């Protein structure tokens, strides 16, 4: 199987990079991998402070960001389409209370990706409202998880 090439254009602007060459996690850390792929045309970078990060490389780094891709869902119109009118209102209001109205509609239409945790919220709520189907989401995409919980 051919190794996937890294596309630096996918790196978010606010994603800090790591320049630590001796880190034992460098081969699987997105921060280091992204740094290795920075195009020469980019003048300024956001990097982790090497002085502060030196201690972290001796143990588990709190800024480590795995290069394993995560399966995100895109949209759940197929689920909202099978809800009864009463259930649809409950479904919509509960998710709006969680995400806010704008993010709810962005996620519903697939404009914003749903994380695995958010997918579980949608499935759990749909099942509580009597919807049981093989697929709850319109599409899936595999992407890097650019930020960990400490970011």
When pLDDT is cut at 50, 70 and 90, the band that residue 53 belongs to is: low
Percentage of residues in the chain having pLDDT higher than 70: 90
When pLDDT is cut at 50, 70 and 90, the band that residue 101 belongs to is: very high
What element of type H or E holds 68? none
When pLDDT is cut at 50, 70 and 90, the band that residue 122 belongs to is: very high
Tell whether the model's pLDDT for residue 25 goes beyond 90: no
Q: Which of 123, 117, 118 is nearest to 135 (CA)?
A: 123
Cα separation, 32 vs 102, in Å, equals 34
More confident: 150 or 88: 88
**Most confident range, picked from 22-26, 43-47, 57-61, 96-100:** 96-100
Give the model's pLDDT for residue 150. 44
Mean pLDDT of 104-126: 97
Give the model's pLDDT for residue 61. 81
* Boundaries of every domain in the chain: 8-58, 69-144
Mean pLDDT of 65-92: 96
The radius of gyration computed from the CA coordinates of the chain, to the nearest angstrom, equals 20
Mean pLDDT of 48-66: 75
Tell whether the model's pLDDT for residue 40 goes beyond 90: yes
Mean pLDDT of 119-124: 98
Cα separation, 2 vs 128, in Å, equals 43
């Amino acid at each position: 199987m051919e190794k996937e090439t890294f596309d630096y254009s996918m790196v978010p602007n606010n994603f800090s990079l790591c320049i630590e060459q001796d880190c034992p996690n460098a081969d699987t850390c997105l921060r280091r991998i992204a740094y290795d792929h920075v195009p020469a045309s980019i003048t300024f970078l956001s990097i982790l402070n090497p002085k502060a990060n030196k201690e972290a490389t001796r143990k588990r780094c709190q800024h480590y960001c795995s290069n394993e891709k995560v399966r995100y869902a895109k949209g759940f119109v197929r689920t909202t389409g099978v809800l009864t009118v009463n259930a649809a209102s409950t479904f919509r209001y509960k998710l709006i209370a969680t995400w806010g109205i704008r993010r709810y509609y962005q996620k519903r239409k697939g404009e914003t990706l749903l994380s695995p945790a958010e997918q579980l919220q949608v499935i759990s709520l749909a099942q509580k409202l009597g919807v049981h189907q093989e697929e709850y989401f319109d599409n899936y995409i595999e992407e890097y998880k650019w930020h960990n919980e400490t970011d």
